[in-house]
Amino acid sequence: MELLDKLTILADAAKYDAACTSSGVRRGSRPGMIGNTSSSLAGCCHSFSADGRCITLLKVLMTNYCVYDCKYCVNRCTNDVPRAAFTPRELAELTIGFYRRNYIEGLFLSSGVVGSPDNTMELMIRALRILRQEYRFNGYIHAKAIPGASPELVTQLGLLADRLSVNIEMPSEASLQTLCPNKTKSAILRPMGQIRQECMENKEALAKYRHAPTFAPAGQSTQMIVGASGESDRHILRLSQSLYDRYRLKRVFFSAYVPVVEHALLPSRDTKPPLLREHRLYQADWLLRFYGFRAEELLDEDEPNFNPLLDPKCCWALNHLEQFPVEVNTADYEMLLRVPGIGVVSAKRILVNRRVASLGFDELKRLGVVLKRARYFITCRGKRDTRLPLVPEKLLPSLTAADRNPLQQSGYEQTSLFAV
């Protein structure tokens, strides 16, 4: 089989993996090696595909042969699709070829399970070892640890890769049992715990010995599928929070379920992927990681799902109007972050600037603070920008309107000269 066909099959099989990031590690160039990961700590996007997702890594499977039969997956063994496998050397050469042309920031390597998890991991390790040691590749590598593989192999993989991830796949054990009969919760969580442990030990070792080998310096992430099973947003968010707390994950990715197969246990094939839901979950995920929110604050048992019309932060603010309006000239950083429309960048700029001058609405605009939502919740030098009283009924219409195109919501259309 030609390389082009292999690449097509194996990229197509890998495309449902949401994680395509090159963040979390800054490693400069090294003599005799190719590559660095220091363009920025936030990673570097090399292109954006037609679905608007960032392409930063060469995202492929080692092989899409798989012995497992996960119901939702394109690569399950009962699905009739063309199969292919890279040889370790082919993959290494392709990566270097792409990297030299600046198409990619590195390699994202996952795999279907051939034979056993151990066998699969050994294949992946062989490919990565050729890439790192023979081709002297110093760029980013994200590798998937296969649940069920032995701990020694996970360690070896971590020494070669920058980031490891183990996919949690389903947000609850019950749906995991029904949809992925070959996987168990403990098999998924065991490597996660191991990676966290080794990352921590490695940090200590690096503090003592500068040249200690690094183990997954960019940490670990995971991914779960949203919309294939019946869990509520609240359940998913609380699960991600506990993953952040217990396993020190860098990211939890959500992947809106794209129906690829007809099955009694799954949504029908003509359901659209729940993109808005995925978006709201990501917004909430950011609130957990950067804004000091807890999952319990955002959703409770009475309202277990996010409002499709309003973002999670706005919803929270509307339910806690007693804390508003906030005076931008005196409020502390934590409170500024809780104002809808003010993010980390804006809040930091406000902190810097208000030491020099007092801030009014014009000054805020010049700082680059977006007032579309924030104006309802703040005061500048004691004054508000709007006369709307701080009650949910009055604010709600303006806030939902701020999110949408005015032409769409009024029900009018742009007329065309030629439409008659």
Partner 1 sequence: MKDIVYEYDGSFDGFLCCVYESYTQKENPTGFFVGEADCTLFDTRYIPTVAAHAKRVYRSFFKTSQVFGPLLQRAWLTILPEKELQLFALIRLFYRLGPVALQDLSHETVSAVRRAVRHLEEEAQQLRGFVRFSEFGGVLGAEIEPKNRVLPLLRGHFCGRYREESFFIYDRTHREALFYAAHQSRIVPLEQFQMNAPGEEEAAYRVLWKRFYDTISIRERENPRGRMSKMPKRYWGTMTEFQSEDFFVSPCAAGILHSTVTPSADEAFPAPSAPDGIPAPETPPVCGHTAPV
- Residue whose C-alpha is closest to residue 3's, from 47, 58, 50, 79: 58
CA pair distance 200, 351, nearest whole angstrom:
33
User: To the nearest whole angstrom, how small is the minimum distance from the Cβ of residue 95 to partner 1?
Assistant: 11
Q: Tell me if 396 contacts partner 1 by CB under 8 A.
A: no
> Is 379 among the residues that bind partner 1 (CB under 8 A)?
no
Query: For partner 1, which is the closer residue by CB, 199 or 226?
Result: 226
By beta-carbon proximity to partner 1, the closer residue of 35 and 191 is 35
User: Which own/partner contact pairs does 10-14 have at CB distance under 8 Å and 24+ positions apart?
Assistant: 10/60, 10/61, 10/62, 10/63, 10/64, 10/84, 10/85, 10/86, 11/59, 11/60, 13/61, 13/64, 13/74, 13/75, 13/81, 13/112, 14/59, 14/60, 14/61, 14/108, 14/110
Which tokens in the block code for residue 89?
A: 């050397």
Size of residue set near partner 1 by CB under 8 A: 62
Least Cβ distance, residue 46 to partner 1 (angstroms): 4
Q: Mask of contacts with partner 1, 164-193, x by CB under 8 A?
A: ------------------------------
Binding mask 47-86 for partner 1 (x = CB under 8 A): xxxxxxxxxx-xx---------------------------
Please name which of 164, 168, 251 lies closest in space to residue 199, comparing C-alpha atoms.
Answer: 164
Rounded to whole angstroms, the Cα distance separating 369 from 341 reads 8
| DSSP structure string for 385-407 | S----S-HHHHHHHHHHHHS-HH
Does 94 participate in binding partner 1 (rule CB under 8 A)?
A: yes
Interface of this chain with partner 1, residues 338 to 367, rule: CB under 8 A = 349, 352-353, 355-357, 359, 362-364, 366-367
Residue 45 beta carbon to partner 1: minimum distance, rounded to whole angstroms? 5
Pick out residues in 104-163 that bind partner 1 (CB under 8 A).
Answer: 105
Listed in sequence order, the DSSP H helices in 248-340 are: 275-290, 295-298, 312-319, 333-337
- Shortest gap between Cβ of 4 and partner 1 (angstroms)? 6
Return the number of other C-beta atoms located less than 10 Å from residue 253's C-beta.
24
| Closer residue to partner 1 in complex, CB, 351/402 | 351
- The distance of closest approach from Cβ of residue 105 to partner 1 in the complex, given in angstroms and rounded to an integer, is 7
Binding-site ranges for partner 1 (CB under 8 A): 3-4, 7-8, 11-12, 14-16, 28-36, 38-40, 44-56, 58-59, 94, 97-98, 100-103, 105, 256, 258, 272-273, 275, 349, 352-353, 355-357, 359, 362-364, 366-368
